[in-house]
Structure 1
């Protein structure tokens, strides 16, 4: 007789994306009072995973990591794991994507964010392979290290979370209508894009990459403003390699 698969709390959710994870060995919670109260009661950090049904790398990370018993053990023993469909909660997606972009300089899905029990982000990224590869730390390495840091360096974790939360609040207070973007900010952004540009495959940063149209729009703005050929080249090469 076949063994009945493990079923977690996502089985009763309405989102097809969440239900896809209902038989992961990870003890997933949907976002809500039960999960948040559990994190406070157990004084555990929260692992927040945000994605959507059509996301290729979301499915890859599920297969490689969330279906893996060792990863599930690390998550279940040291974290409260919450899965969110970004199409149901765009508000959470926007807040924590800002955190990931501030931490890493890029964003995408699946979004992987670690929060204090009071919901302040202190570490994050997008797709993590199960083992070290693609120039990225493996998810098992990340989980083990963060569990150690939470146990031994809690004060530093809260300091990092406090700084990041303040940065997010300051960004939220900016009003684009109040004035023009300072030229020095555009020049600095152009330098960062140039540093992270992939001259072979296009795009920015390490794979897997995610297209952010706002980046390309700002590069075109730099090209028009400063007549920098490299800015236009990065846009054209990226789009050509995607075609």
Structure 2
């Protein structure tokens, strides 16, 4: 095997190609993404996280076991693997081309009907008890807040539908407040974790992404400007303090793209 590690933050185009293959062939998705290619650079097997050794509790094969099995398969059935890989790529290419051809390109803005349909979807999918949309795992998805707040402003100005506008604001405010009080918001170090593993924003996946902080800062600022809710305002200030303290490169400027989910390696370590 020749191992090639790709940073998906630097090369999202490469990540998109192989994630599309993984989703099309196995119906799932996620990271870290591991993909095995033929010498002709055609993918033939993919998966997300594999533990170093097999985990019998969850019937999950280990990375070493995967390598041994793939090596044996390639040694005995390489021609079959190459043929199946070519067939999968051809089918995937045709499906993508068909999908692209079916999409009508319209230079104009989305119609009001499309906007109302989108808003109705969010309103119906909203979790009235915990905020957010759908069930776990729950991601922050600040683009949803941006849409809702923009919809509220434009809908109120254009049509005077105050109730609909207010609902969009309340959905956004409640979700951000629930997130602010939950474990997805680091209550000690500040900043938002990647996502919540439960419906209540309580147990997070501990990775922190710079782009989440940036987008959530906009959502929090816009919501605070509209509602003057002090919890949201304080959460915004805490988030900015976290980014400046932990994600900013003190020597060369700029920002780190993420803080990983690992704990300190040793008891007395000061940095990850």
TM-score by length of 1: 0.42
Report the structure number with the largest CA radius of gyration.
Answer: 2
Q: Which has the higher contact order (CA 8 A, sep 6+)?
A: 1
Q: What is the TM-score when the length of structure 2 is the normalising length?
A: 0.38
